[in-house]
Amino acid sequence: AALAGELGATHAVADALDEPGLADAVRQAGPAIDGLAYCVGSILLRPLKRATTEDYVTAFRLNAVGAALSVAAAADGLKSCPGAGVVLFSTIAVRSGFTNHAVISAAKGAVEGLTTALAAELAPTIRVNCIAPSLTNSGIAAPILGNEAMAKAIAALHPIPRLGEGDDAGALAAFLLSADAGWITGQVFAVDGGRSSVRVKG
């Protein structure tokens, strides 16, 4: 509500896994939707032998199913706006491979597959792209970043040695939703201080 007020926009609240609720939220938002950013996510770090079926299903439903349902609910509104875009969120752990990340990497890997599938299905009227950040200062990262020594150690793993901030991915998301990105679709962009592709030591 606060953000909507700041932007002079309308807003609606819904559970990402509640299809009727999503439909109601889209109706409240209005008949035309310029863009959709699905910023819902989770972090569950657990060794393979401790991960349960429920862990995998919960992460998949929230990250992949919720994204698919949200795009489906908004599709008609998006189609009514020329150049409309969708931005989904993954993680660099999908392509880099980190220990204890099986649950979240599997779920976010599905989001990357969903990105390219929807980009194909919804072209040419709706563009769909994905952002894969490294660890970012956010509420869901608080259990990890609450340990100052661990936070510093993780920051030092990046060629640009700091943690991500919301504005790092936010600026790219804003660009991908804008008309300036009108010829970009089906892509996954790493926003990770170079961690997934650059080595400055060793």
Does this model's pTM top 0.85? Answer: yes
DSSP secondary structure of the chain: -HHHHHHT-------TT-HHHHHHHHHHH-S--SEEE----------GGG--HHHHHHHHIIIIIHHHHHHHHHHHHHHTSTTEEEEEE--THHHH--TT-HHHHHHHHHHHHHHHHHHHHHTTTEEEEEEEE-SBSSGGGHHHHTSHHHHHHHHHTSSS-S-B-HHHHHHHHHHHHSGGGTT--S-EEEESTTTTT--S--
Superfamily of 34-191 according to CATH:
NAD(P)-binding Rossmann-like Domain (3.40.50.720)
pLDDT on residue 150: 92
pLDDT on residue 97: 92
Model confidence over 110-157: pLDDT tens digits? Answer: 999 999 999 999 999 999 999 999 999 988 898 888 889 999 999 999
Q: Which two tokens stand for residue 104?
A: 């979240």
pLDDT on residue 202: 63
Low-confidence residues of the chain: pLDDT under 70? 1, 3, 202
Each domain of the chain, given as residue ranges in start order, spans 34-191
